[in-house]
Amino acid sequence: MSNALARLLEIVPARGEPCRKAWGDVERSLGVELPTDYKELIHLYGGSNWDDYLYVLEPGCPNRNYDLIEWAKHQAEDLEALWEFEEKPAELEAEGSRVMPWATTDNGECLYWLVRPDLDPDQWTVMVNEARGDRWEHFSVSCTQFLASSLDGELQSGNLSSLFPRTPHEFRRLLAV
């Protein structure tokens, strides 16, 4: 278990049965291996909502609106179309670099992994795109470290709502709608 996941468990204890995934099938569908800390996060928390604002995407999420595989497919298409008109973030200038979503918010911000062909997935970092805008932020942390550090106030994103995080923290698993 990563230090970030241990910290997250201290901040908000996991509830419910662990989520079991056939990660090999998921990764084949996505065409990429996923970070270990993300798999551990999903195992303990599943697709989830944090402080009634941030939604962690899950492959095969019971709430289809937050299915990682669908988000990855649609975001890749949408961003390619968008970058015909807007400049790509500097972090994506290296050949083969791309972003892949792992979370979103109720305002429409999207949180991505910065995927680089020369990096192991456990070295991927986080990019945050503002809702309906071209402002991007880069954080040199894993997705679980980003979530834990955001919840404990150690890390703040200018693209996310100033009302996030809340205290006390709220956590809920995403269920079928």
In the three-class reduction of DSSP (H, G, I as helix; E, B as strand; rest coil), residue 49 is classed as: strand
* CA dist., res. 90 & res. 59, Å (int): 28
| Cis peptide bond prior to 168, omega within 30° of 0 | yes
In the three-class reduction of DSSP (H, G, I as helix; E, B as strand; rest coil), residue 152 is classed as: coil
Instruction: Give the number of other CB atoms < 10 A from CB of residue 116.
Output: 17
pLDDT in tens, 3-34: 999 999 999 999 888 999 999 999 999 999 99
Residue 99, pLDDT > 80, answer yes
How many structural domains comprise the chain?
A: 1
CATH number at residue 128: 3.40.1580
Find the domain containing 42 and state its range: 3-173
Residue 78 pLDDT:
83
Residue 1, pLDDT > 80, answer no
